[in-house]
Structure 1
Amino acid sequence: MQSAGTASQVGRWIGRGEALARLGVKAQTLYAYVSRGRIAARPDPEDPRRSLYAVADVIRLSGEEPAGGDIGQWLPPPEESNGPDFELRSSVSISVKGRLFYRGMDAVQLAETATLENVARLMWDARSASPFAEVRPRVGATPGHSARGRLFAALARRAEEDAELKPRPADGLRIECARVLDEAVDAVAGPGPRLFLHQRLARAWKVREGDAHLVRRALVLSADGGLDAPALATRAAAAGGASPAGAALAGLATLAGSATIIDLSRASAWVVAVRRQAVDAARRAHEAGVLSGFGDPDWPGGDPRAAALISEADLPQDLARAMREGEEMTGRAPTFGLALVAVARRLELPRDAAADLLMIGRVAGLLAHALDQTTNGSPIRARLRYVGPEPGAN
């Protein structure tokens, strides 16, 4: 006989097989949903090696209606309202009806003219004055053998320097964020004239002046992707007392190991193969089931950022044809990661520049989440449930 507590769990959590059947997806997609925070998961109390998945999240993503149409039967009972709270308030970004908005402004429309500085001010809610006006160049090079290594080193250095225990006013935190973003770009681009952030990167990568707008668009569109795992990691660090730089570092480390970067790396390898062997490479990859860069579970109708970036990229004929035929073969639109890779190849940037663009742009958004959490965020109440060996058993 089940206890009342056990019975309350029945229907709220389901196994992997049932979750896959309800969603109609493969296991990799289910894991991607979990890693991006779209489906909550927890260990199975009867077998900690297995996972259970929240029915409410599965229903929301599949569009399925619970029996009787009453969603309330799938939600936690009222007596558990004092338990862990995984719902966070965010005013940074939201996706609605296939469009991404930064504080209510359409990201694709912003990318037409806005710089990363403009978007950072918007996301940081810096209305009265520009925090970048207080920024001065930092003397001295940032150590690291790669752009990514220098980017992490710059954030780590700022995290150490900004680790104050006393509260800071919101305007002071915004200036702090501007300094962090400025130093992050300098860490990748190196010293030089105090141009716009995208111009510094374009200059370092020897991009023609007429093509610098593609770097600007890529950075603006990379700034945020909603309340995903990197944003959650940033907010958790900020709620725990980390400085904006420290919180952004936590989010960036999460992004570096995420499915987004893995997919981008695979798409980059595919683009290189396509440019060498034309579209035959795409056909072989599709037949082998390893064609990367098409279809994103977060954007079933296609990522508007990818479409906007590709439409402005003026891709060479071989790559444009491969993108078109890849979409026809899979029936899915290119991902934003693939769009970044295509632009990087079009501009003849360094090998890892697509990921660098994504991570640099994302620093602005992660700083926004850190600031939002510190100044206006809801408390994060979570409980770590131990499922290891019984203490003293060994």
Structure 2
Amino acid sequence: MADQDTHDAGGRRLSTREAADRLGVKPETVYAYVSRGQLASRREPGSRGSTFDAKEVETLARRSGRREPPSTSGELAVRTGITLIDRDHCYFRGVDASELAAHYSYEEVAEWLWTGEMRRGIRFTAPHDALSAARRAVQALPAHSGPMDRLRVAVIAAAAADPLRFDLSENVVLDTARALIPTLVDALPPQAAEQPAASLAPRLWSRLTSEPADPASLRILDAALILLIDHDLAASTLAVRVAASARAHPYAVVSAGFGALDGALHGAASGLAHRMLLEVLDRGSAAAVVADHLRAGRRVPGLGHRLYTGEDPRAHTLFELLEEVPRARPALQAAREAITTTARHTELHANVDLALAVLTVATGMPTEAGETIFAIARTAGWIAHALEEYDELPLRMRPSGRYCGPKPPQPLP
């Protein structure tokens, strides 16, 4: 067949269509590049089409600085090699996210996502200067400040303590990422005895609840961190890529993500599901709680996701793990009742926010705990997107406005 991608000893070969898609041009333009000597083509034996070296196409794409082509739906489509959501599955760099959660820790998956290397047993530690600055900033906040307030302040303080923050070379950005995530965790006020030598999940646990951490619950928290590490171009991730496109340093990139995450329709969604489950447990009936939501014209929290036709695979994985934790059974039953009750009205499946709410309710965590877990987890994904964006042409994330105001010239007001 013509124009199929092939491989050889020199690396991956792209078909004409693939090269055109990467360059954001028509296939005819690809051949124009060939005629100008900007690209080298080769005709494979038995094929009617030409093929192109993937690295050469990538170099030309960055040099030409073409904007991202629109998707078939007319939305901006951003090339990324990090996350694929396909047929109700979520893949990180081609590997099923649920499989990663079953076999590795959050730090191991984060390191692999950034570098492509799986370093078993890796631990992230916070540098003294950054952690000291972040803790002082967090302690200066009013007593009623929430976790997201603390995280936003902590990342700014950590940035101020890092004189190398403007160095965007890959190794420095990676070192920043390995230091920033534990700084964010360790800057939060502890609710139980600290475990400074432990991996990230136990340290985060001690900042979310005073209840003791059993191995099964810690495994679920670690799995949740992995499953939430990235999810394609969510609003916060797009904000991160725009900041990275302007060559903002990693701390500023994460700050941009926190800003978008703070919206009620993004990071706070698990808190709404948390409150719903508490109400179901308090009233002893999911039917009454679901009815109240529908009567008020509100969506039932934790149900439905625009990217999945069935159950969110991340929720499915967490529910399976929660089944093995006895103290999670009441909250899990409340969630199941909310799902089946809503199904009488419309078929909506559980999403990860509902599964996260089961974890936070079952372990005595506050309403905002799910948002905190989400923010810490997604920081690693944002860094992965920043690294990817730093390799692109600067300021490419610059859409054109479609002016719809008064026609000029207008009189001076």
Residue in 1 aligned with 2:81? 91
Q: Say if 1:139 and 1:287 are closer, same or farther in 2 by CA, change over 3 A.
A: closer
Question: Is 1:313 aligned to 2:322, yes or no?
Answer: yes
Aligned-partner SS, 1:351: coil
- Residue 285 (structure 1) shift: 3.4
For 1:362, which of 350, 375, 378 is the aligned residue?
A: 378
**What's the offset of the Cα at 1:168?**
3.6
Q: Does the Cα contact within 8 Å between 2:124 and 2:179 map onto a contact in 1? A: no
Give 3-state SS (helix, strand or coil) of 2:304's partner: coil
Higher Cα Rg: structure 1 or 2?
Answer: 2
Matched, 1:150 2:170: no
Pair 1:245 & 2:251 matched: yes
Q: Which residue in 1 is equivalent to 2:127?
A: 136
Give the equivalent residue in structure 2 for 1:281: 288
Please tell me whether residue 209 in structure 1 is matched to residue 214 in structure 2.
yes
State how far apart, in whole Å, the 1-side matches of 2:221 and 2:125 are. 24
Cα offsets for 1:175-230 (capped at 9, x unmatched): 11111112111122557513211110123323423221121111111111111211
Q: Which amino acid aligns with 2:201?
A: H
- Mapped to 1, the partners of 2:219 and 2:107 lie a distance apart of 14
Q: Distance in 2 between matches of 1:199 and 1:322?
A: 26
Task: Name the counterpart of 1:294.
Answer: 303
Contact kept? 1:231, 1:366, Cα under 8 Å: yes
Q: CA deviation at 1:91?
A: 1.6
**Distance between the aligned counterparts of 1:286 and 1:128, measured in 2?**
45
Structure number with the higher helix fraction is: 1
2:78 aligned partner, one-letter code:
L
Q: 5+ residue gaps in structure 2?
A: 1-64, 70-75
Query: Structure 2 counterpart of 1:260, which letter?
Result: H
> What does 1:47-58 correspond to in 2, within 5 Å?
none
Q: 1:186 to 1:286 in 2, by over 3 A?
A: same
- Looking at structure 2, the residues matched to 368 and 287 of structure 1 have their Cα atoms a distance apart, in angstroms, of 39
Unaligned runs of 5+ in 1: 1-80
Count of residues in correspondence between the two structures: 314
The yes-or-no answer on 1:123 pairing with 2:132 is no
- Other-structure match for 2:8: none
- For residue 313 of structure 1, report the CA deviation from its aligned partner: 1.3
1:224 counterpart letter in structure 2: D
Q: Measure the CA separation in 2 of the matches of 1:309 and 1:189.
A: 26
Question: What is the 5 A alignment of 1:17-166?
Answer: 85=69, 86-125=76-115, 127=117, 136-137=127-128, 138-139=131-132, 141=135, 142-143=137-138, 144=141, 145-161=145-161
Distance in 2, matches of 1:218 and 1:246, equals: 25
Match of 1:336 in 2: 352
How far residue 325 of structure 1 moved from its aligned partner, in angstroms, is 2.6
Tell me, in whole angstroms, the C-alpha distance in 2 between the residues paired with 1:303 and 1:200: 27
Change (3 A) 1:339 1:172: same
Alignment of 1:261 onto 2:261 = no
Q: Tell me the SS of whatever aligns to 2:188.
A: helix
CA contact (8 A) 2:224 2:356 kept: yes
CA distance in 2, matches of 1:220, 1:377: 30
Cα gap change, 1:168 to 1:251, in 2 (>3 Å): closer
Identical residues among aligned pairs (%) = 24
- Paired residue type of 2:309: P
Does the 8 A contact of 1:344 with 1:353 survive in 2? yes
Structure 1 residues 316 and 121 mapped into 2: Cα distance closer, same or farther (>3 Å)?
closer
Q: Distance in 1 between matches of 2:361 and 2:372?
A: 13
Aligned to 1:173: 173
**2 CA distance for matches of 1:296 and 1:83?**
29
Given that 1:278 and 1:318 are in contact with CA atoms closer than 8 Å, whether structure 2 keeps it comes out as: no
- Provide the C-alpha distance between the structure 2 equivalents of 1:122 and 1:98, rounded to a whole number of angstroms: 23
Deviation at 1:128, TM superposition (A): 8.5
Please state whether the residue corresponding to 1:384 is helix, strand or coil.
coil
1:229-275 superposed Cα distances (whole Å, 9 cap, x missing partner): 11111000011010111112101211211513353332222111101
Q: Which residue of 1 aligns with 2:400?
A: 383
Q: Encode CA deviations 1:119-150: one digit per residue, 9 max, x unaligned.
A: 21122125387996785343352413332211
Q: CA deviation at 1:281?
A: 2.9
How far did residue 160 of structure 1 move?
A: 4.2
Contact 2:273 2:354 in 1 (8 A): yes
Q: Is the Cα–Cα contact under 8 Å of residues 268 and 368 in structure 2 kept in the other structure?
A: no
**C-alpha separation in 2, matches of 1:336 and 1:83:** 33
User: In structure 2, which of residues 316, 337, 341 is the aligned counterpart of residue 325 of structure 1?
Assistant: 337
**Equivalents in 1 of 2:66, 2:189: separation in Å?**
48
